[in-house]
Amino acid sequence: MTEHFVDVQNLSLKFQQKAVLRDLNWTINPGENWVLGGISGSGKTSLAKIIAGLQSAPGDVKIYFDRESLLPAETLFVESWYQFKNLEGVANFYYQQRYTSQQAKETLTVHAELVGYGKEKGLHFDQVEPILEALAFATFASSQLIELSSGEHKKLQLVKALWLKPQLLIIDQPYTGLDSASRKNLNILLDQVAEEGTQLILICNDIELPTCITSFAEIRDGQLVKVDALESSATEIHLREIPDFLKESPVYSSEDIVKMVNVNISYGEKQVLKNINWEVKAGEKWLLQGHNGSGKSTLLSLVNGDHPQSYANELYLFGNRRGSGESIWDIKQHIGLISPEFHWYFDPTATVWQSIASGFYDTVGLFQQLPYTKSIQVDELVEYFGLTENKNELLTALPLGKQRLVLLARTIIKNPELLILDEPCQGLDQQQTKHFNQLVDELCSNGMTLIYVGHFESQLPTCIEKRILLEKGEVKVVESLNTEILS
């Protein structure tokens, strides 16, 4: 057996005439498990795809699989997002489809997806059951793929990867969307497959890692640099001055932003939300939390007007009962929204500038000419977020972290009464996360209402003052920051 497992030599990559990787070299020895960290856009995902054979670039990549190992002699790359198709093999879904397709059976169920994967790879189904239990995913067997949240999609990706146990497993953002318990259990599972011979490359900037990790590296100026540990990149940030139009307090149409009275949501015999009572007043800053599958996404879909069952419940938005004559677009005029699912389904043909501008009209792309005053506001946000050199590029051509910044800018372009930020910092590096949360703090100091979803306690705005915790579709806790029970 050779002394190296992976040997990368003189790898170079340009993107739009800009050098991303410059004669990069990387040697991975047998038994080593790496974490590849560093700033967003440095080339981590591209490097991983090249090693996995999913992207070509000048240079030389050799992987010396152990032919005597019982593990599959292959490299599996787990993308940061899960790509799936409907039963006809098409992937052109739209955002609200997740909440309107429960009866249509448009995609495979989780069980059917796993059965097909097991047959393709020659795997025994009894071997996947402990993984499903460990990641609290066994109860999703009958769920359609389109019904899953971002965290649940990540779990499905991880289940398949841990079931296969290839000799080289590369996971891009392994903890994205996972709750605390799932992150801990994932690390245990990663340690187990590493013990059985799978070698890992994890692309992330997370601190809580499997104990099997032996080595750390970052990409700096196109070169791979080995480091003793991932260093925090969240240095002191000096924010540009916030644009004047965002310094003004939102004009509230009602003191009552959200009011839910005994709200219930069911799909057949499956009850997703049970007797939810919740009030959000103008100017309040809420943290919404709960394990994966607890009902957070469904709750937010009621608030932003996307869920069709909102009409069958006693739900008030911005002072009006849902179903009293207002359209979904009337509701969205009050709201700035970002979520992983919204990002998935955003218009792939929109430029950075168009994507931000579309926030004025709550569309997933810009389909009309902007008045001059609104164009100026877009330009101001482009500059504020440091996106000037990217403004005419396609959104999808940017690194994931910058894509998320663009959509974050889109959420605030109209200075909305309510910001709904559903895991807004997925894909951002530590510096970008700190930057955005500081912006949220500044915006909310002017009276904006906030509902923020986040699993990582260390990655939250400081302005948050209240928390609602869901558990299995029910309100478990409502509390203030000092944990004084409010209801």
Supply the pLDDT for residue 85.
52
Please classify residue 281 by burial: count the beta carbons closer than 10 Å to its beta carbon, then call 0-12 exposed, 13-18 middle and 19+ buried.
middle
Residue 97 tokens read as 């489809």
User: What is the average pLDDT score of the chain?
Assistant: 87
Percent pLDDT > 70 in the chain is 91
Predicted confidence band of residue 24 (pLDDT cuts 50, 70, 90) = very high
Q: What is the DSSP letter of 286?
A: E
Predicted confidence band of residue 356 (pLDDT cuts 50, 70, 90) = very high
Distance, in Å, from the CA atom of 262 to the CA atom of 246, rounded to the nearest integer, reads 35
pLDDT for 90 beyond 80: no
Q: What is the DSSP letter of 23?
A: E
Q: Please answer whether residues 214 and 225 qualify as being in contact, where contact means their C-beta atoms are separated by less than 8 angstroms.
A: no
Element (H, E) at 110: helix 110-121
Predicted confidence band of residue 178 (pLDDT cuts 50, 70, 90) = confident
pLDDT for 146 beyond 70: yes
CA atoms in the 13 A half-sphere facing the CB of 31: 3
277: left (phi over 0), alpha (psi -120 to 50) or beta: beta
Distance, in Å, from the CA atom of 181 to the CA atom of 349, rounded to the nearest integer, reads 38
Mean pLDDT of 67-83: 90
Amino acid at position 27, single letter: T
Residue 82 tokens read as 């899960």
Distance, in Å, from the CA atom of 326 to the CA atom of 303, rounded to the nearest integer, reads 14
Supply the pLDDT for residue 220.
93
Q: CA angle at residue 337 from 280 to 413, to 5 degrees? A: 110
Distance, in Å, from the CA atom of 301 to the CA atom of 263, rounded to the nearest integer, reads 13
Residue 231 tokens read as 């260093």
Higher pLDDT among residues 304 and 211, named by residue: 211
Mean pLDDT of 154-162: 96
Instruction: For the chain, give percent helix, strand, coil, nearest 5.
Output: 30, 25, 45
Q: How does pLDDT run across 433-454, given as a tens digit for each residue? A: 888 888 888 878 888 999 999 8
pLDDT for 167 beyond 50: yes
Distance, in Å, from the CA atom of 377 to the CA atom of 241, rounded to the nearest integer, reads 14
Element (H, E) at 15: strand 6-15
Q: CA angle at residue 267 from 261 to 268, to 5 degrees? A: 120
Residue 460 tokens read as 């939250």
Residue 473 tokens read as 């579709």
The CA radius of gyration of the chain, in Å to the nearest whole number, is: 23
Domains, the chain, with CATH or none: 6-227 (3.40.50.300), 244-480 (3.40.50.300)
Q: How does pLDDT run across 40-57, given as a tens digit for each residue? A: 788 999 999 999 999 999
* Cβ count near 150 (within 10 Å): 23
* Cβ count near 345 (within 10 Å): 16
Number of residues assigned to the chain: 487
